[in-house]
């Protein structure tokens, strides 16, 4: 069948919905790189030239990409690497090592990962090195070409760069910057971080070996651009098999974006985070509600998805507590009100709970002290309360000072939604004095 006939063909609605969900999930989850990064052209050019000098001319460099989460640091680096690797010479020679401060939590783990990514496990074998610097020098020496005259250029990407500054003596950073400065081997060190004060974290000897190049990214996105991005992300391209369905879908997306209630929801998301990943999560939740009976995204879907995104997880956790645990939380709330947020202990909470029992004279809420202790410990495990200091052997558990990690509004909101909450407990929570 010709392409023209395929486009003119009308597929069953169920099949169209399946294809829409496949296409949009691929787009929203994989976050495809743009052909040209918008708004960061100067930064793109600067970083590309810097890495090209390492990859082609063997010049060592170091640079930090600094910006808030969602500003496009990783996207910028990926776009630069994609453009850089289009050159055949670079594609053959450039080696890449990607480290993350959340994963490589100390220098030993980082060195092991560097060895693995450079495929030098067999070369290192069971060799014993006197220091980290010796091990690093051996790895870079092993990368030299057969004529021993030149090394392959290596790009080190350090994501969550500020976390590497917390490693003991900053040995990894010192050695990487030292190699890049002393021209022992052609390497480029690119750090990605959210912290503007990252240089203050570096030791003097590390700082002196860093080039002090920084590329700053700040989101200049406006709300109309954000709305347009939502429309583009949800729209189908012209190559969709059923042309008629694609036109109807795209028309419904345009109508959706112009809806006042939808604009208000998106404005709230835009104000809280300009990160495209959070927007993609919102749109993914909307997409899950599309079905054969409802083959388009409606404003109500976006409102529900927004409610889920902004759901208060701690308030939701209260819905799963037992009546006893809920009573202890209310007792803590009253203690917070009376003592203006000062820490409390289990004994104080128990006394507050007993006052409530004496007023109600209700045997239904009588619990043995060990049961109350267990409920109190469960609240600590859920991180609804936390100790003021670390656990001390000298302090009995009943007298260890705690703080409540919930505020008044979260507790009251959870009580309204708590399934079949007894009336007297609700009244106790709402009373000004216990």
Distances (CA, A) of 379 to 326, 360, 367, 395: 10, 24, 16, 19
How close are the terminal C-alpha atoms of the chain, in Å?
A: 78
* In a shared domain, residues 281 and 328: no
E runs forming strands in 262-401 = 385-387
The number of beta carbons lying within 10 Å of the beta carbon of residue 335 is: 22
The answer to whether residue 434 scores a pLDDT higher than 50 is no
Q: Which two tokens stand for residue 319?
A: 């819905």
Distances (CA, A) of 102 to 33, 57, 112, 340: 24, 32, 15, 37
* Residue 19 resides in a domain: no
Residue 307 pLDDT grade (very low, low, confident, very high; cuts 50, 70, 90): confident
Q: How far apart are CA 127 and CA 236, in angstroms?
A: 57
User: Which domain, by its residues, includes 259?
Assistant: 221-309
More confident residue, 360 or 413: 413
Q: Look at the chain and count its residues.
A: 434
Q: Which pLDDT value is given to residue 252?
A: 92
348: Cα within 13 Å, side-chain hemisphere: 18
Q: What is the DSSP string of 301-330?
A: HHHHHHHHHT--HHHHHHTTS-HHHHHHHH
Q: Considering only 31-45, 50-64, 145-159, 394-408, which range has the smallest mean pLDDT?
A: 145-159
* In a shared domain, residues 375 and 418: yes
Q: Which two tokens stand for residue 263?
A: 């604009």
CATH of the domain at 94: 3.40.50.300
What mean pLDDT is reported for the chain?
A: 84
Identify which of 65, 59, 86 has the alpha carbon closest to the alpha carbon of residue 182. Answer: 59
* In a shared domain, residues 247 and 336: no
Residue after which a domain boundary falls, among 196, 216, 236? 216
Residue 213 pLDDT grade (very low, low, confident, very high; cuts 50, 70, 90): very high
């Amino acid at each position: 069948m010709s392409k023209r006939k395929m486009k003119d063909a009308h597929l069953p609605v169920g099949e169209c919905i399946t294809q829409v969900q496949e296409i949009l999930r691929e787009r929203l989850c994989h976050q495809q790189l743009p052909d040209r990064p918008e708004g960061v052209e100067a930064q793109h050019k600067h970083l590309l030239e810097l890495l090209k000098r390492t990859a082609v001319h063997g010049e060592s460099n170091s640079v930090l990409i600094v910006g808030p989460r969602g500003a496009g640091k990783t996207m910028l680096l990926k776009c630069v690497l994609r453009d850089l690797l289009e050159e055949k010479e670079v594609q053959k020679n450039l080696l890449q090592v990607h480290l993350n401060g959340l994963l490589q939590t100390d220098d030993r783990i980082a060195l092991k990962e560097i060895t693995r990514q450079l495929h030098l496990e067999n070369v290192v074998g069971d060799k014993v090195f006197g220091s980290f610097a010796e091990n690093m020098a051996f790895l870079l020496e092993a990368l030299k070409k057969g004529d021993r005259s030149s090394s392959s250029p290596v790009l080190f990407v350090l994501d969550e760069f500020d976390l590497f500054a917390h490693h003991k003596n900053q040995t990894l950073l010192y050695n990487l910057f030292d190699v890049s400065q002393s021209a022992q081997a052609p390497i480029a060190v690119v750090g990605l971080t959210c912290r503007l004060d990252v240089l203050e974290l570096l030791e003097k000897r590390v700082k002196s070996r860093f080039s002090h190049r920084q590329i700053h990214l700040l989101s200049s996105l406006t709300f109309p651009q954000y709305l347009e991005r939502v429309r583009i992300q949800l729209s189908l391209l012209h190559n969709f098999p059923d042309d008629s369905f694609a036109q109807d879908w795209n028309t419904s997306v345009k109508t959706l974006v112009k809806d006042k209630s939808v604009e208000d929801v998106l404005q709230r998301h835009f104000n809280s985070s300009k990160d495209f990943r959070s927007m993609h999560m919102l749109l993914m939740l909307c997409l899950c509600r599309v079905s054969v009976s409802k083959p388009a995204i409606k404003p109500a879907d976006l409102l529900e998805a927004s409610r889920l995104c902004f759901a208060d997880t701690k308030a939701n956790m209260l819905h799963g507590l037992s009546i006893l645990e809920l009573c202890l939380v209310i007792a803590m709330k009253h203690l917070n009100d009376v003592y203006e947020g000062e820490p409390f202990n289990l004994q104080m909470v128990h006394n507050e709970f007993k006052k409530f029992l004496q007023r109600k004279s209700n045997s239904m809420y009588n619990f043995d002290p060990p049961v109350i202790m267990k409920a109190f410990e469960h609240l600590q495990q859920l991180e609804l309360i936390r100790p003021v200091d670390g656990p001390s052997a000298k302090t009995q558990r009943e007298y260890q000072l705690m703080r409540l990690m919930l505020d008044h509004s979260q507790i009251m909101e959870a009580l309204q939604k708590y399934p079949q909450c007894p009336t007297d407990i609700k009244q106790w929570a709402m009373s000004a004095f216990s």
